[in-house]
Amino acid sequence: MGLTDLWLPILLSGVFVFIASSLIHMVFSGWHAGDYRPVPDQDRVQDALRPFNIPQGDYMLPRAGGMADMKTPEFQEKLKKGPVIVMTVFPNGDSGMGKPLALWFLFTVVVSIFAAYVAGRALGAGAEYLEVFRFAGTTAFVEYSLASWPMWIWYRRKLSTTIKDTIDRLIYGLITGGTFGWLWPQMMNGGM
């Protein structure tokens, strides 16, 4: 089956996941409330960092110049003294939610396109609901969830945050699988 035969489940699953993620983060906001803690005495930390005018981007502190530098006594001392930080600097001011929400919706649609591709290659028109659900849902779950784990492995993100993210993404995979199963074409010409 081609992607054009699956345009409706692709689009609607993206919409449904977008709505579910909004509910998770707005209605059930306590679920992720402890993911990021405030820095102790954050006003003084901001005041101390402000003169550096750090541009938007991702940073490590301390940061070695290469693998050989990581083994030097000087770098090892910096690690011992701390703080050891991985951080993302955003632009100053309220950047709004419009662009991130639009990009998130686009991402949900891209995930659904890949789920449609896998399910469409594996199954034909008229496939059973549970078969469609299994292929599309599993593909979407893998796409949504696996990126969280390297953040825990390499950047020491909290395990509880990673597990909660994985549960959220399981919900997204189930929604995607359910939408595809519901709207799966029953005849080859895209008919229902």
- Per-residue pLDDT of 52-103, as tens digits, reads 999 999 999 999 999 999 999 999 999 999 999 999 999 998 888 999 999 9
- pLDDT tens by residue, 16-37: 999 999 999 999 889 999 898 9
Q: Is 191 domain-assigned?
A: no
Q: Are residues 122 and 148 in the same domain?
A: yes
Question: In DSSP terms, which residues pair with 88 in a beta bridge?
Answer: 58
CA–CA distance, 108 with 15 (Å, rounded to integer) = 8
User: Range of 81's domain?
Assistant: 42-89
Instruction: List the end-to-end C-alpha distance of the chain, in Å, as a whole number.
Output: 14
Q: Which amino acid is at 61?
A: L
My answer on whether 26 and 46 are in the same domain is no
User: Among all chains, which residue has been given the structure tokens 């579910």?
Assistant: 20
85 DSSP β-pair partners: 61
- The domain total for the chain is 2
